[in-house]
Chain A
């Protein structure tokens, strides 16, 4: 039993986690293309963003490292995980909120002009 867990763990560390993160990204893109409702397209855009941020954060993991908050008198670089991806992804999350806001503003404008937010009805009407 522990042998299976060890082999599974090794597979996950080598390329399993990357495979799952990329599958989530692919599901997000497919949802953006194939969903008919415009609001679901915005939600799938946020799903894509979560998967990319997680993929970036896995590059900072270290075995035996702790949170990047400095303890007393321990300054060696092997005791902490890499803080640079955290700093970059922090602003990415807040910018994704701004993008969602702009997307929702566009959605309301589309609803004003066309009267519906289903994609088939809008392209079937051909625009006003």
Chain B
């Protein structure tokens, strides 16, 4: 009785909200720009410059990566710091003085395993997929300037490979078990690498994150090459940070879980 009453109140509230928001959006939607027009305020002034000058400034065909890592590199630095902060917060909330002792050793096949993932076929199939994901992740990182990809996708793919190997209980040695402290240190190293890429031009007489003055190679005329190197260093830093944070949150959440199936 109580459940169906609360369900009815939920449904009534939802319908009222939908009608209210729909009607008001119809009325006030007239000052938003028409979708698909060429001369909206968002499509003028700055994005035209980015589109026309991305290839000659940074030698990267992917305009989104050029905007993210070169023209707006300062914003990406602080987004990476926000990610690192979220990882530290998750570890701080769930850290406990007395460790919950459960079996971290390798499970054997006699281990009351009725769950479907402990069959041989699934294990072998997943074991083939994991190195392919790792290679694809590094490919996406390095080709971030030519086609789709970049630092965020590559870090998430590398962490996805580790996650796949960690969750499947197998009966042989698995990938080396990464603790949450090591993963957090990796994430911090990634953010530090990003900051070092910013500080290096300052030692050479430039501003923070000014890629024209990186001290690499012969800066005789190859300004676009210097920008390309700077973008690659930034992407490596972002990849390390994202991979570390995803593995950290995974380990911290998995430590309190007893997998007995």
Interface positions of A (Cβ within 8 A of B): 12-15, 17-19, 22-23, 25-27, 30, 34, 58-63, 68-70, 75-78, 80, 82-88, 90-91, 93-95, 97-99, 101-102, 104-106, 108-109
Q: Is the CB of A27 within 8 A of B61?
A: no
Any A CB within 8 A of the CB of B119: no
| Most A CB within 10 A of own CB, among B25, B37, B246, B256 | B25
New contact pairs (6) apart from A23-B21, A75-B51, A91-B152, CB-CB < 8 Å: A58-B35, A60-B42, A69-B62, A84-B50, A87-B68, A87-B72
Q: Is the CB of B18 within 8 A of A109?
A: no
Q: Is the CB of B43 within 8 A of A62?
A: yes
Cα–Cα distance between A106 and B252 once the two chains are bound (Å): 12
Q: Is the CB of A17 within 8 A of B86?
A: no
Q: Is the CB of A102 within 8 A of B40?
A: no
Q: Which of B87-95, B134-142, B205-213 contacts A (4 or more CB under 8 A)?
A: B87-95
Residues on B with C-beta less than 8 A from A30 are 13-14, 17
Q: Is the CB of A18 within 8 A of B29?
A: yes
In the complex, how many angstroms separate the beta carbon of B14 from the nearest chain A beta carbon?
Answer: 6
Closest to B48 in A: A77
In the complex, how many angstroms separate the beta carbon of B73 from the nearest chain A beta carbon?
Answer: 11
In the complex, how many angstroms separate the beta carbon of A118 from the nearest chain B beta carbon?
Answer: 12
Closest to B76 in A: A91
In the complex, how many angstroms separate the beta carbon of A64 from the nearest chain B beta carbon?
Answer: 8
Any A CB within 8 A of the CB of B63: yes
Q: Is the CB of B42 within 8 A of A94?
A: no
| Most B CB within 10 A of own CB, among A14, A61, A83 | A83
Residues on B with C-beta less than 8 A from A76 are 51-52
User: Would you give 20 A-B contacts (Cβ < 8 Å), ordered by A?
Assistant: A13-B36, A26-B21, A68-B63, A69-B61, A69-B63, A70-B54, A77-B52, A82-B47, A87-B72, A88-B75, A90-B64, A91-B75, A91-B79, A94-B242, A101-B86, A101-B87, A101-B249, A101-B253, A102-B93, A108-B256
Which 8 pairs across A and B sit closest by C-beta, in order of nearness? A15-B29, A98-B86, A101-B249, A91-B79, A77-B48, A87-B68, A19-B25, A26-B21
Q: Is the CB of A105 within 8 A of B150?
A: no
Residues on A with C-beta less than 8 A from B82 are 95, 98
Q: What size tier do the contact residues of chain B reach? A: 35 or more
Closest to A97 in B: B246
Q: Is the CB of B42 within 8 A of A105?
A: no
Q: Is the CB of B50 within 8 A of A109?
A: no
Q: Is the CB of B63 within 8 A of A61?
A: no
Q: Is the CB of A105 within 8 A of B32?
A: no
Cα–Cα distance between A70 and B22 once the two chains are bound (Å): 39
Closest to A84 in B: B47
Q: Is the CB of B83 within 8 A of A90?
A: no
Residues on B with C-beta less than 8 A from A77 are 43, 47-48, 51-52
Q: Point out the residue from B43, B52, B67 that lies within 8 Å of A87, measured CB to CB.
A: B67
Any A CB within 8 A of the CB of B30: yes
In the complex, how many angstroms separate the beta carbon of B248 from the nearest chain A beta carbon?
Answer: 8
